[in-house]
Amino acid sequence: MLALKNNTRGSIMIAALIITLVTGTLVGLFLKTVSQEVANTHRARMGFQAINLAEAGVEYAMHGMIEDNLDTAWTSTSGGGYYKDNFPHIDITSEAKNDQDSRLYRVRSSLRNDNRSLRVYLEPEWINPDGDKVPVVISEGLVTLNNGMLVRKQIRVEMEKGSSKPWKRGWGNGILGKDSVTFVGGNVFVDSYSSSAGPYDVTTNRRDNGSVASNEVVSGAVSIGNATVVGNVATGGGKPDIGPNGSIRDLTDYENGVTGIDWDRVALDFYADLPEPELPTLTTPQTSLPSTFSASTLIPGSLAVSQLKAEFPSLEFSTKSESIGKGLKVEVIEFAYIDTDNDGTYDTSSEIKYENIALVTEEAYKLTEIDVHSSELYLFSGETQIVVDNEDINTPADTIINGGMLLGSSASLEFYLAGSLTVTGPEAAMINDTGRPPNLQIYVAELNSDWDTSVYMGGNGTLSGAVYSPSSSLEFKGGGGGGDVFGAVVGETIKFSGTYKFHYDEDLANINDDDDDDGDFVPVVTAWRELNYAGERISSWEDLKKSGL
């Protein structure tokens, strides 16, 4: 009986020991798992910190390029780049502010007992596979704990030049209305071409990218009616209104007489950012345009006339015989006109005449108003900027053009208006002898939300240029022989009616890619990549500084 009791007690002890061993093992595994989870949590947090540090390094590099202080604030390298590892602005506790001896500028956090380091290499003119010189940044963020755990993140960022004037990049579409675009009648026609390939020509230089777009999400924001669009239509969400004779087709369909809607050319997910333009500050501008003079004061065949005709190919002069007594007659100039068919003969039914002309030669004009009369023609011969602003925030400075503005073959004009623009009448025209709409840029700035600015072109008014007026109503109303627009337009609301024909110049989509943007450099990220693999990571920063990318 005693032996049985001893055996029972021994079995209980063995079971207790087994349970204790299993429990201890499970507790140990649990504690190890918890420890690993804590370590993983630390590592994940450190990874986020490291990648944020690396991105901060890219921001520093972009700031250095914008401020143009790389030669003073960074260290130039023999590999053609710049290096920096001293970043006091990431100091959290100011504990490390005087630690200038460290190769990497370390910042100690009093909250998590970690150290953070950042180093950046910038190569401003790395040659990409396309042969273009672009900025490239390699940035490394390093976070370490006092127990030796560390996380290192490296990123490589490629950039291109952006614009400090984003409104100059607003012509990626032919007709863009922030709210609505409306075509009235069946005679509105839209297509595209490329002015860098020569003048618009229905046979050799016509394309099917005559895009019409609106940011608006409601149906009917784009109403093409019975117009013909050889291109595309896009809205922010609502379907366009299309009349029974309306057409959206590609060029092949149009030329083959196919009408109706190709729904593959309609998109409902469009959006464009349309910032308000800013008026530039001009250096020592003129305060008035030159006075006009009578074209009849010029002498036929004179050097002055020959020079004008050479610089303004579409300008011609009508002459007549005038008696000077004793049976003698001389040829005199009667008026100037725009020789649209280039035959040297004035056509009263289709060509515009002007009795008074003025030659605009200065680079900058700051005006309170412009009123071009129907008999006047202004000739622009150089690179000109005009700002029309009466500096009264309560009253817009309106511009009225009933006459002509003609750009010479090597001229350009940037026209900034703090008010409305009206171009109307049988003699109204903005003609561009460069053959390039990018050389005539018109910006309308609505400086006061209480203003109700507009751009109106009526009658036989023609335009070869680009209009950017995101807060204005734009109306192109054809009459008589109608009008043509070569270029692109942006407005809050846009309306075409009558017999207007719109030819989008596709070159306007990249109008300032080669422009130095007045010397400002605004980098735009084109590629961002984390360097995860051993073969792509930077293992020796000294070699990088010596040899470059």
Degrees, nearest 5: CA angle 4-6-7: 65
Residue 522 clears pLDDT 80, i.e. is over it: no
Range of the domain at 76: 31-93+110-164+524-547
Q: Residue 403 in contact with residue 430, Cβ under 8 Å? A: no
Task: Taking residues 133-137, report their average pLDDT.
Answer: 90
pLDDT digits (tens, 9 = 90+) for 113-132: 678 889 999 998 888 888 88
Does the model's pTM come out above 0.95? Answer: no
pLDDT digits (tens, 9 = 90+) for 318-331: 888 776 666 676 77
Helix residue ranges per DSSP H, 89-149: none
Would you say residue 213 lies in a domain?
no
Would you say residue 508 lies in a domain?
no
Confidence of residue 460 (pLDDT cuts 50, 70, 90): low
SS3 state at 137 = strand
Q: How many other C-beta atoms can be found within 10 angstroms of the C-beta atom of residue 471? A: 18
Task: Taking residues 18-43, report their average pLDDT.
Answer: 76
Question: How much of the chain, in percent, has pLDDT values that exceed 70?
Answer: 87
pLDDT digits (tens, 9 = 90+) for 40-80: 777 788 888 889 999 999 999 998 888 888 888 899 999 88
Lookup: tokens for 358: 């003025």
Residue 2 clears pLDDT 60, i.e. is over it: no
Would you say residue 330 lies in a domain?
no
SS3 state at 510 = helix
- What pairs with residue 354 in β-bridges? 336
Would you say residue 102 lies in a domain?
no
Would you say residue 17 lies in a domain?
no
Would you say residue 140 lies in a domain?
yes
For the chain, the domain total comes to: 1
Amino acid at 314: S
Task: Taking residues 220-243, report their average pLDDT.
Answer: 92
Residue 301 clears pLDDT 90, i.e. is over it: no
Would you say residue 541 lies in a domain?
yes
Would you say residue 173 lies in a domain?
no
Lookup: tokens for 348: 């009263």
